[in-house]
Amino acid sequence: MPQLSVVVPVFNERDNIPPLLAEIAGALRGKIDYEVIYIDDDSSDDSRAVLLAQKALHPELRVLHHVTRSGQSTAVWNGVRDAKSPWIATLDGDGQNDPADIPKLLAARDASPDMRLFAGWRTTRRDSFNKRISSKIANAVRSRMLKDATPDTGCGLKLFDRDVFLRLPYFDHMHRYLPALVKRAGFACQSVPVGHRPRTAGVSKYGMLDRLWVGLADLRGVAWLMRRGKVTRVEEL
C-alpha cells in the first residue's frame, strides 16, 4: 500500500501534464512510497492520450477518465475514493502549485498528528489582477460567514486524511470549503504557507464573475450546514 496518493484533476491541460508529473517524481520518488492519480474530466484536447503515454515514464501513475464532464469536485472525489493510501495530497493540474511543497505538508502532518487537513496558503499569488481580487473578496466573505480561520481555501495544494474526507457531505465545488467541512466534522486543520507560480501553458477555466456568483450560492449552502448540522465524533473504548 502506498504511503501517499497524489490526486490531480485535469481538464484540457495536455501541455502541463508531462512537466508536472516530472516535478511530482522529483519531489517524492525515492523518499516515500506514493501513487499519482490523474482524473481527466472528459477533456476535449488530447490530455487523455498524453496521460496514457506518460505511464511508460511514471509507473506510479494511474489514470481515471470521466465519461461525461463532471467538474473539479467530482474529479477530486472520484480520485480520493479510488486512492489506495490513507493520506491524500491534491494538486491543481495547471502547474501553478509546486509539488516541491508536498514534503512541507507531510512535515507539518508529522509535527501535528492530531490534525486531519493541511491546507496550502498561497502567501504570494502569481495570478492576474482580476483573479487575485475575486479570490480576495471570496476569501473575506467566506471567512466572515463560516469563521473557518483559513486564509486561502482556494489553493489546490492540500494534504488530508482519506477517511475523514469521505465522511464529508459531497456537493459540487465542495473542494473550496474543505477546512470548514472538516472542522464541522470535528477535526482540526492547519494552513501551511506554500509557493505559487504563474500559469505557463493552457488557459484558466474560470472567470471573475463565475467564481463570485457560484461561490455565493455555495457559501449559503455551506453556512446552512454549519448552522444546522450536528456531527459528533465517536470513539470506541
β-strand 87-90 against 115-122: which pairing, if any? unpaired
- Give dist(CA 216, CA 229) in Å, integer: 20
CB 11 within 8 A of CB 94: no
User: In the chain, helix, strand, coil percent, each to 5?
Assistant: 40, 20, 40
pLDDT digits (tens, 9 = 90+) for 183-209: 888 899 999 999 989 888 877 755 444
Q: What is the pTM of this model?
A: 0.84
DSSP annotation string for 167-198: HSPP-TTGGGGHHHHHHHTT-EEEEEEE----
The pLDDT of residue 130 is above 70:
no
CB 146 within 8 A of CB 189: no
pLDDT digits (tens, 9 = 90+) for 222-235: 666 676 666 666 66
Element (H, E) at 32: none
pLDDT digits (tens, 9 = 90+) for 42-85: 999 999 999 999 999 999 999 999 999 999 999 999 999 999 99
Residue 101 is given by DSSP the state G
β-strand 87-90 against 4-10: which pairing, if any? parallel
pLDDT at 209: 46
The pLDDT of residue 2 is above 80:
yes
Domains of the chain: 4-228 (3.90.550.10)
Instruction: List the grid coordinates of 143.
Output: 471567512
Confidence class for position 171, pLDDT limits 50, 70, 90: confident
